Amino acid sequence: MVDRVSKQFGGVRAVDGVSLEVRPGEALGIIGPNGSGKTTLVNLITGFVRPDNGRVLFRGVDIAKSSVEARVRMGIARSFQTPRPFYRLPAFRNVIIPLCSRRARERLGSGFGRREEVALDLLEEVGFERDAAAVTKPASELPHGYLKRLELARCLALDPQLLLLDELFSGMSPAETASLIPLLLRLVQEGRSLVLVEHRLAELFQVVGRVVVLDFGRKIAEGHPAEVMTREEVRRAYLGGEVSASA
């Protein structure tokens, strides 16, 4: 749960008193035009940016001042909007990194050779075919869609209770997104919370049951996707901005 958080960069109020809540087993969409503060909100929840004021509650604990690592350990994971893989490492080794974290070690133990197995499973789950060349290629040689899925695999390695995906679908082909949607739905069914920051509304609405609309750092609407999109203020925020249901 996020309670009235704000963050100012210089003179810009990137996020201005936004409150929202995600329950276990729920998927929430965050939409809004470019520069409306969506990514900053993700950064505030995951600890990459500290809020100026307001609280960030996770399972009743205020984590606004916790480090990124501490939040990961509690079960919060995020993907980056532009993929940030370890370019020099092969894809499956990219997934080994989060498996070395404390959270993963508490879950898996530190058994030798086990991590490789788990990493390969995770890659298969996000759509790398097992033993395909892509698994052992350095990340620098992978196409964009694969890098996005690699981001997702890296998050899943942390067994997150709250997973924030920053524009996961952007730059993916329709076939690729279609293959990921069942996975996301399953994660929700398993009782995890999902937060999706997304421009591709058609795909987003297949996953989430509720959206929050941001504009200039403020929350301007919240509710069921179909209903929210008919509201006057939402339409106004999107006019001139990119209205991209399918772009």
Partner 1 sequence: MTAPGAYRRERLDRGIKVRSDDIFALAGWAELVYLAGPRVAAAVLLLVFPLLRNWTGDYWQTVFLVAVAMMLAAVSWAFLENVGLVSLGHSLFFGAGGYLTAIAVLDLRLPPLLAVVCGTVVAAAGCGVLLGPVLRLRGVYFSLVTFALPLLFARVIEATKILGGTEGLAGIPGLGSLEARQYLLVVGLLVATFGLQRLLDSDYGLVLHAIRDNDLSVRASGIPVGWWKFGAVVVGALPATLAGAVLATHYHVVGMSAFALDYSVLPLTAAVLGGPGTMAGAAVGAALLVPLSELLRAFGTLRVVAYCAVLVLALVSVPEGLFSLVRRRYHQFERWVPL
Of the listed pieces 30-38, 49-57, 93-101, 215-223, which binds partner 1 according to CB under 8 A?
A: 93-101
Q: Is 200 in the site for partner 1 (CB under 8 A)?
A: no
Least spacing, CB of residue 236 vs partner 1, in Å: 35
Q: What are the distances in angstroms from CA 147 to CA 123, 195, 230? A: 11, 20, 34
User: Which residues touch 220 (CB under 8 Å, ≥6 apart)?
Assistant: 213, 214, 233, 234, 237
Residue 123 dihedral angles phi and psi, to the nearest 5° = -65, -40
Residue number with CB closer to partner 1 (67 or 244): 67
Residue of the chain from 80, 128, 146, 169 that contacts partner 1 (CB under 8 A): 80
User: Of 33, 27, 42, 26, which is closest to residue 18 (Cα–Cα)?
Assistant: 42
Q: What are the distances in angstroms from CA 14 to CA 39, 52, 215, 226? A: 9, 11, 10, 27
Residue where the block lists tokens 């276990």: 24
Residue number with CB closer to partner 1 (33 or 51): 51
| Contact call for residues 229 and 244 (beta carbons, < 8 A) | no
Site string for partner 1, 25-44 (x = CB under 8 A): --------------------
Residue of the chain from 5, 44, 49, 72 that contacts partner 1 (CB under 8 A): 72
Q: Is 141 in the site for partner 1 (CB under 8 A)?
A: no
Residues in the chain: 247
| Contact call for residues 181 and 207 (beta carbons, < 8 A) | yes
Q: Is 84 in the site for partner 1 (CB under 8 A)?
A: yes
Residue of the chain from 48, 55, 137, 225 that contacts partner 1 (CB under 8 A): 48
Chain contacts with partner 1 (rule: CB under 8 A): 46, 48, 67-69, 72-73, 77-78, 80, 84-89, 93-94, 96-104, 115, 154, 157-158
